[in-house]
Chains A and B, each alone.
Chain A
Amino acid sequence: MPVQSPISSVNDFVVRFANVNGSGSASANELFARSILRHGVPVSPRNIFPSNIQGLPTWYEVRVTEEGHLGARGGVDLMVAMNPQTWDKDVASIEPGGYLFYDSTKPMPTSKFRADITVIGVPLTAITNSTYTDPRQRQLFKNIIYLGALCALLDLDPKLVEQLIGEQYKGKEKLLSSNVHALHLGRDWALQNLKCPIGLRVKKSDKVGDRIFMEGNSAAALGAVYGGATVCAWYPITPSSSVAEAFTSHCKKLRHDPETGKARYAIVQGEDELASIGIVIGASWNGARAFTATSGPGISLMTEFIGLSYFAEIPAVIMNIQRAGPSTGMPTRTQQCDIIACAYASHGDTKHILLFPEDPAEAFEFAAQSFDLADRLQTMIFLMLDLDIGMNHRLCRPLKWDDARQYDRGKVMTAQMLDEPGRDFGRYLDVDGDGIPYRTYPGTHPTKGSFFTRGTSRDRYARYSEEGAIYADNMQRLVRKFETAQDMVPRPLQANAAKPTKYGVIYFGSTAPAMDEAIGLLEARGHQLDRLRIRAFPFHSSVASFIADHDFVYVVEQNRDGQLRQLIVNENGIDPVRLVPILHYDGTPITARFIANAIGDHQDHLKVTPLRKAVS
């Protein structure tokens, strides 16, 4: 075997921690990621975890990336192998020339290692057991000890790590000092016994700027607070539960009446997803801003109510944190697989508005905007996140708000308006030609503006009717309303290649960081691509013109069936041949390497080498 030289890289590598679920490693690993951020070096961490509480394997991956590539990269440069169950697979996944960090307390047979990697053994259990007697302390501090050793190996500034520990345990001096002690225990051992640093190093930089480090679910929940949501009804389901939990904790801090201490919100954990969406619809019907958060199986259960929201025109917001389906699928793995299920949810002819945020900052903005859209359009709005955005910390631009911003409550007729002479109120009367009728809140006026809301067909004045012409008139108006929505939802963002090109790529949501990085990789291979990031359905007219402007367009998405591509073909009448699907659906986040290889290979095949040149 040829001698493999160890990988040497500053501020550009991937560390993966292999742990056992429930061992308390998560907070130590997150501390590691945050420490690197404090060096001014961007990181992109990802949790890879099982549907389990304790005992099964879990991984935490930190991509250190001075260039700021926040998508998953693929491959591992340094494996922190703390889980014997997955040892073989973990060791096999290390890049040639990479590093293996392990607990060397018990000797391992040489067959368990690889010759082309650098093996770093630290007797973690021995150090821990000689210092601590309490089993839980041994478990927790072992994590901090390996963090200390990594500090030495990767040349991290221990002061910055200490500072973070200080912030975390502010006011809990005993925990603070014991954590700092454990950190130095590991660091000192490594400095005395190992060659430090290794080829992978962190060097102080200034590439983080004012960016924040946040989970998408928490950002979406905060968007709901800023967007004026007062009612949240939800049923626990991975990976969406942390939306409602974050909404609860944000509200506790931000939404209590300063004088009385009472809550300006109501959060109900429903008995199931049907009740949750029922509560949301009841609250919205009665003029409050309400939402639920769920995932694929919850969407399936909610579809009857989603149809009611569409047909009876009741505003509502569903945050769908997508996970791999169908059925229970892979509950803790990411996908963009509910596009069709949400766009056309429920029986009969229905169409719904979908928003596709790319990161926590956009999740915050779109979440707040979704309540304005729901009220304005009097219909269901789906905020389409996924596990990759929702449950991982992502570096993103700071959250912004304009204090002059007012909520758009849409077309709501007040008692005063109802009393205006000549005012005609018909709940389903299209007075402005945009397909959007006026509504009234219950209890508005003693004699005017009341109506009976129903999922059955009715005329423009909300009177029950099974007349074909009246039914069709209403269905046509709903189409008009959907067309109106096109110009209200976030528009696609286009970025053109450095050189003119005949090829384009369409992508959305959590694919964004990997796509941005893939563009650079493709350019290096000589392929130029214009790109369009779709941010909402219904599609803006610029989607059709982007496709028309290119010979063909790749559609990159994280599902098996090319659901966004199907939706574009279906809604815009595009020849399917012009849209080339690039599909990633194994439950791991899509990588730049995957996209660049798939598109690059396709592009290479397009290059026709002249026969004369080929044979000469």
Chain B
Amino acid sequence: MTYIAKPKFHHPGLPKNELGYTHRDYEGKISTLCAGCGHDSITASIIEACYELSIEPHRVAKISGIGCSSKTPDYFLGNSHGFNSVHGRMPSVLTGANLANRDLIYLGVSGDGDSASIGFGQFAHSIRRGVNMTYIVENNGVYGLTKGQFSATADRGSKSKKGVTNTDNAIDLVAIALQLGASFVARSFSGDKTQLVPLIAAAIRHKGAAFIDVVSPCIAFNNHAGSTKSFDYVREHNDAVNRLDVLTGRDPITVDYAPGTVQMVEQHDGTRLALRKIDADYDANDRLAAMTFLQKHAAKGQVVTGLLYVDPDAEDLHAHLDTVETPLNSLEAKDLCPGTAALEKINASLR
């Protein structure tokens, strides 16, 4: 169960990142998910991305809703505050937390039931507001904790473990996020860590609403023939448009990219995203083209993955609200309370 703590000792020779932290400093409690669960691979990727970016582990706030995916924040960044909130309501809780302290990194972890069904509205509205966050949906197309009901991302025509065919149309969160103005949109696969880790790193460094849909097979209820969210199906239909290298400020470009094969994107904080093109015509700066591309490939049954869209000049909710640089939670009475002199004036105006 989630109260199981990992032993603290580790090999003295474990490599350290720029801040002197080892991988172990980014880990959490032992997972209670099923052995082989795709979500645990995503947890490992989050740990890897945070390690590589040399993030202070306690400067991350991990927020989730309810469900298998929402349990995972307990399994990484054990020195961070986590909030396992209410089913489908992670986006609002994260929005509020972000308003209170703009200086932390916000990692929202959710599932397809949490974000595409009960919390579809909150997903949509947090994206449209441009909350500065990394919003990861661990998407397995099924309700695991309640034992195998279809979720809203299950494809029409796919079969449940019990053999029932899904007759409802699927919600593609990536397509919706693009339409709602997310300034960073990606899709990946829990079984492809080399693709996923840099996507998470780039999303964390993105200032704005960054959304990653990670197809993450449910080993217990959605990994059979007839499922479109199984390991086999996704491997066969994975259509990656690009591969990403995240280059932080100090990194020199050591890789020699052949001309025309790479799209360089520089984000606000100086992070450079080197997109190695797999599909030569794919432009990750073109929202409209991305939407069309997704629709065309979805119609062919392909699962398009990679960094699908990024707006390097994105603004976040704090910019829209023009809030002070100091986190609101550290303002004191002297900054907030107008005092008696102002009150006397107000009284006088009400007579």
Residues of chain A touching chain B, judged by Cβ–Cβ distance below 8 Å, are: 37, 208, 210-214, 222, 225-226, 228, 230-231, 233, 254-255, 257, 260-268, 270-272, 274-288, 290, 304-305, 308, 398-403, 405-407, 440-447, 450-456, 459, 463-465
Contacts and interface: CB of A to CB of B under 8 A. Distances in A.
A399 B92 CA distance: 34
Nearest to B96: A282
Interface string B90-101: 011111111111
B57 interface: yes
The 4 A-B residue pairs whose C-beta atoms are closest, nearest first, are: A282-B96, A278-B92, A288-B100, A442-B81
A279 B96 contact: yes
Contacts of A274: 89, 92, 122
Contacts of A225: 336-338
A489 B231 CA distance: 58
Given A276-B92, A290-B100, A450-B81, 11 more contacts: A231-B100, A254-B342, A260-B325, A268-B129, A271-B122, A274-B92, A282-B94, A402-B340, A443-B81, A447-B79, A454-B84
Contact of A279 (B81, B86, B93, B339): B93
B258 interface: no
27 contacts: A226-B337, A230-B331, A263-B323, A266-B328, A268-B99, A268-B317, A274-B89, A275-B92, A278-B89, A278-B122, A282-B93, A283-B97, A283-B99, A286-B96, A286-B101, A290-B96, A399-B343, A399-B347, A401-B337, A407-B333, A441-B329, A443-B61, A443-B104, A452-B73, A452-B74, A459-B3, A464-B2
A453 B79 CA distance: 13
A546 B111 CA distance: 54
Given A225-B338, A275-B121, A406 B84 contact: no
Given A233-B96, A452-B82, A455-B85, A226 B104 contact: no
B324 to A, nearest CB: 4
A454 B87 CA distance: 11
B24 interface: no
Contacts of B125: 270-271, 275
B122 A285 contact: no
Contacts of A405: 333, 337
B235 interface: no
B233 interface: no
Contacts of A214: 350
B6 interface: no
B337 A286 contact: no
Nearest to A270: B92
Most buried by B among A233, A261, A454: A454
Contact of B84 (A233, A254, A446, A452): A452
A264 B324 contact: yes
Contacts of A447: 58, 79
B350 to A, nearest CB: 4
A401 B343 contact: yes
Contact of B343 (A266, A270, A400, A444): A400
A281 B96 contact: yes
Interface in B42-91: 56-59, 61, 63, 73-74, 78-86, 89, 91
Binding site secondary structure of chain B: helix
Interface of B: 1-3, 56-59, 61, 63, 73-74, 78-86, 89, 91-101, 103-104, 121-122, 124-125, 129, 317-318, 321-325, 328-333, 335-340, 342-343, 346-347, 350-351
Contacts of B329: 230, 283, 286-288, 441
A212 B349 CA distance: 8
A442 B61 contact: yes
Contact of B340 (A262, A275, A401, A444): A401
A402 B81 CA distance: 36
Contacts, number: 233
A399 B346 contact: yes
A444 B121 CA distance: 32
Contact of A285 (B80, B93, B333): B93
B122 A228 contact: no
Contacts of B321: 263, 266-268
Contacts of B85: 278, 281-282, 308, 453, 455
Contact of A264 (B89, B92, B331): B331
Contacts of A446: 56-58, 79
A361 B74 CA distance: 46
Contacts of A407: 332-333
A305 B339 contact: no
A453 B82 contact: yes
Contacts of B342: 254
Contact of B101 (A278, A443, A459): A443
Contacts of B99: 230-231, 266, 268, 279, 282-283, 288
Nearest to A222: B346
A211 B351 CA distance: 7
B117 to A, nearest CB: 14
Nearest to A393: B350
A108 B92 CA distance: 59
B58 A286 contact: no
B346 A442 contact: no
Contact of A230 (B129, B328, B338, B351): B328
A228 B91 CA distance: 24
A442 B96 contact: no
A37 B97 CA distance: 46
Contact of A445 (B58, B91, B98, B322): B58
Given A231-B328, A399-B347, A278 B336 contact: no
A451 B62 CA distance: 11
B112 to A, nearest CB: 19
B84 A283 contact: no
B328 A288 contact: yes
Contacts of B346: 222, 399
A255 B336 contact: yes
B24 to A, nearest CB: 12
Most buried by B among A225, A287, A440, A443: A443
Nearest to B336: A228
Contacts of B340: 400-403
A445 B81 CA distance: 10
A450 B97 contact: no
Contacts of A279: 92-93, 95-96, 99
Contacts of A445: 58
A406 B334 CA distance: 9
B89 A305 contact: yes
A255 B347 CA distance: 18
Most buried by B among A213, A254, A459: A254
B306 to A, nearest CB: 30
Contacts of B324: 257, 260, 262-264
A440 B81 contact: yes
A278 B74 contact: no
Contact of B323 (A210, A262, A276): A262
B328 A265 contact: yes
Nearest to B84: A454
A308 B325 CA distance: 30
A98 B140 CA distance: 75
Most buried by B among A263, A279, A401, A453: A279
A234 to B, nearest CB: 12
A508 B99 CA distance: 36
A372 B168 CA distance: 49
A283 B323 CA distance: 14
Contacts of B94: 282
Contacts of A406: 333
Contacts of A400: 340, 343
Most buried by B among A255, A282, A290, A407: A282
B97 A286 contact: yes
Contacts of B318: 266
Nearest to B28: A452
A442 B101 contact: yes
Contacts of A282: 63, 83, 85, 92-100
